[in-house]
């Protein structure tokens, strides 16, 4: 018996040798008499940048740092779309105490204003009243908390606000977005802490951004809305003006905290920073695209390696390596019979089931069953690995196909490469080998 390890996308010689050494050590410990062989294909069949990567924005660093401001803004809105109340939460928890203490006009950080007059209504309460009474022409009337309260005064640009909501597809979810923000504990607490007019103006801006973000989030995080960044910003301006703020001057307190956090935890800065590496120096995406367009060469190479030695072979394919193995085994089984010696297929972190489901797998039309002669198939996945998929539900009732879950407890993309030190992976391979009667 032998094992043939087929690496995944983006792997080149140095990474392959280190990875294969680990896999060989773990397999040899459980199968002392088996041969464990590599199948390195990255340099021969992987992608390379023929023009040096000139097509990739960001592969070469811009001397003037162009795009940094846009990336920061996109990051902040990414955070708001995920949690529309996040800026309000900062104001509700931290308030403006630090700012007041810094300029000598208030108490120590973490304490309420000791000079606040009892019974004097905070300026932020007036902003919340305006939010409660905010209505938009053309949308159903939204009553305030007090049915006897007078209607909100007519506002400038009300028709523009209505046209903007309808023109961007945000009108259907706007009323719910208003209610979500206005009824939130975060808004109430931030309103209590906004005791002075400058703080109330900042609160108005934060509330406007929260309402806009909630409306966008209701429209599929903006994907189902036809809303440009300029239209989004204008929406915030109009809402902030209705609440007594000025959105052209972002809230200092919340923006300072959330801006730094957004650059650390949202995906946009990471994607911008790594775009060149992902599509250039580390051609993970390129390998996949090249295989989809010109995969026959790699499949022929795999066939040659599988049949190079007699006896039963266990094929272990990671990521794109698993896709190519599924393609090869299915094509051969459907046309010329099983690949000699291929007794068990193990795919790890594989996209083959997903590609089959959407009709992008070379060997199998969508909805078709695995052909007669396809070997047993153990498919290993990790829920944290967004590039791993289930195979058994895609081939229902096929006893040859089994899924096995492992948990690395690692975030993506580390989870996509974290399988190889998991003892449960090798335990399950050993079980599959026994079930297949390979020895």
Render pLDDT for 48-100 as a digit per residue (tens, 0 to 9).
Answer: 665 555 555 655 544 444 455 566 677 678 778 888 988 888 888 776 654 44
The per-residue pLDDT for 195 is 84
- Rg from Cα positions in the chain: 29
For the chain, what percent of residues have pLDDT higher than 90?
Answer: 40
The per-residue pLDDT for 432 is 96
The per-residue pLDDT for 10 is 83
Tell me the mean pLDDT in the region 218-229: 69
Q: Which of 9-13, 134-138, 419-423 has the lowest mean pLDDT?
A: 134-138
Distances (CA, A) of 319 to 13, 236, 314: 17, 44, 16
The per-residue pLDDT for 324 is 94
Bridge partner residues of 403 (DSSP): 379
CB 329 within 8 A of CB 335: no
Domain range list for the chain: 2-48+283-436, 68-268
CA distance 408 to 384: 8
Q: Where does 169-196 have alpha helices with state H?
A: 171-182, 185-193
Tell me the mean pLDDT in the region 404-411: 88
Confidence at 155, pLDDT banded by 50, 70, 90:
low
Count the helix, strand and coil residues of the chain and give each as a percent rounded to the nearest 5.
50, 10, 40
Quick: pLDDT tens for 169-195.
888 889 999 999 999 999 999 888 888
Between 131 and 56, whose confidence is greater? 131
Query: Rounded to the nearest 5 degrees, what angle is found at the Cα of 411, between the Cα atoms of 410 and 417?
Result: 65
Positive or negative: CA dihedral 377, 382, 388, 389:
positive
Residue 233 burial (C-beta neighbours within 10 Å; 0-12, 13-18, 19+) = middle
Quick: pLDDT tens for 237-270.
999 999 988 755 444 545 545 544 444 444 444 4
Put residue 82 in one of left, alpha, beta given phi > 0 → left and psi -120 to 50 → alpha: alpha
pLDDT at residue 224 is higher than 70: no
Tell me the mean pLDDT in the region 8-26: 90
**Which CATH number describes the domain made up of 2-48+283-436?**
3.40.50.1820
Where are the extended beta strands (E) located within 11-130?
35-39
Give me the chain's average pLDDT, please: 79
Tell me the mean pLDDT in the region 388-401: 95
pLDDT at residue 327 is higher than 90: yes
CA distance 220 to 314: 44
Query: Rounded to the nearest 5 degrees, what angle is found at the Cα of 318, between the Cα atoms of 317 and 321?
Result: 60
Most confident of 119-123, 135-139, 357-361, 375-379: 375-379
Residues 6+ apart with CB under 8 A from 207: 88, 127, 128, 131, 181, 187, 239, 240, 243, 245
Question: Which phi and psi (to 5°) does residue 317 adopt?
Answer: -120, 125
The per-residue pLDDT for 372 is 92
The per-residue pLDDT for 54 is 55
Our CA dihedral for 164, 170, 174, 180, rounded to 10 degrees, sits at: -130
The per-residue pLDDT for 193 is 86
Q: Which of 151-155, 312-316, 377-381, 389-393 has the lowest mean pLDDT?
A: 151-155
CB 384 within 8 A of CB 408: yes
Tell me the mean pLDDT in the region 207-234: 82
Residues 6+ apart with CB under 8 A from 371: 330, 333, 334
For the chain, what percent of residues have pLDDT higher than 70?
Answer: 73
Between 285 and 348, whose confidence is greater? 348
CB 16 within 8 A of CB 38: yes
The per-residue pLDDT for 320 is 93
Q: How many CA atoms lie within 13 A of 89 on its CB side?
A: 7
Nearest to 192 by CA among 275, 314, 311, 92: 92
Nearest to 131 by CA among 46, 52, 36, 212: 212
Adjacency order of strands within the sheet including 342-348 = 35-39, 2-6, 313-318, 342-348, 376-381, 401-405
Coil vs helix vs strand at 376: strand
């Amino acid at each position: 018996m032998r094992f043939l390890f087929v690496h995944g996308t983006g792997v080149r010689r140095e990474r392959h040798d280190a990875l294969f050494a680990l896999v060989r050590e773990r397999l040899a410990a459980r199968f002392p008499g088996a041969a464990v062989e590599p199948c390195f294909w990255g340099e021969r069949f992987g992608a390379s940048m023929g023009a040096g990567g000139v097509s990739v924005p960001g592969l070469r660093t811009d001397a003037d740092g162009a795009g940094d401001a846009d990336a920061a803004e996109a990051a902040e809105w990414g955070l708001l779309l995920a949690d529309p109340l996040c800026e309000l939460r900062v104001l509700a928890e931290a308030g403006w105490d630090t700012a007041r203490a810094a300029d000598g006009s208030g108490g120590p950080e973490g304490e309420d204003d000791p000079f606040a007059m009892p019974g004097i209504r905070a300026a932020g309460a007036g902003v919340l009243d305006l939010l409660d009474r905010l209505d938009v022409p053309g949308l159903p009337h939204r009553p305030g908390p007090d049915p006897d309260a007078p209607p909100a005064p007519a506002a400038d640009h009300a028709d523009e606000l209505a046209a903007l909501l309808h023109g961007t597809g945000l009108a259907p979810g706007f009323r719910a977005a208003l209610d979500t923000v206005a009824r939130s504990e975060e808004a109430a607490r931030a309103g209590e802490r906004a005791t002075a007019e400058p703080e109330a103006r900042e609160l108005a801006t934060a509330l406007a951004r929260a309402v806009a973000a909630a409306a966008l989030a209701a429209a599929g995080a903006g994907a189902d809305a036809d809303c440009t960044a300029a239209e989004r910003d204008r929406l915030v301006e109009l809402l902030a003006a209705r609440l007594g703020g000025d959105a052209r001057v972002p809230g200092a307190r919340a923006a300072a905290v959330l801006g730094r956090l957004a650059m650390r935890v949202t995906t946009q800065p990471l994607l911008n920073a790594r775009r060149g590496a992902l599509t250039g120096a580390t051609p993970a995406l390129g390998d996949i695209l090249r295989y989809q367009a010109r995969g026959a060469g790699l499949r022929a190479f795999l066939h040659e390696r599988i049949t190079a030695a007699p006896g039963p072979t266990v094929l272990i394919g990671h990521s794109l390596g698993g896709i190519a193995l599924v393609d090869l085994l299915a094509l051969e089984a459907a046309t010329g019979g099983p690949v000699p010696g291929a007794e068990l297929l193990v795919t790890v972190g594989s996209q083959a089931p997903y590609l089959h489901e959407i009709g992008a797998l070379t060997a199998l039309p969508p909805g078709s069953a695995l052909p007669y002669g396809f070997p047993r198939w153990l498919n290993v996945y990790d829920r944290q690995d967004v590039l791993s998929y289930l195979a058994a539900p895609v081939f229902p009732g096929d006893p040859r196909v089994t899924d096995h879950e492992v948990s690395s407890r690692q975030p993506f993309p580390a989870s996509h490469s974290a399988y190889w030190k998991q003892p449960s992976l090798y335990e399950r391979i050993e079980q599959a080998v026994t079930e297949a009667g390979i020895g």
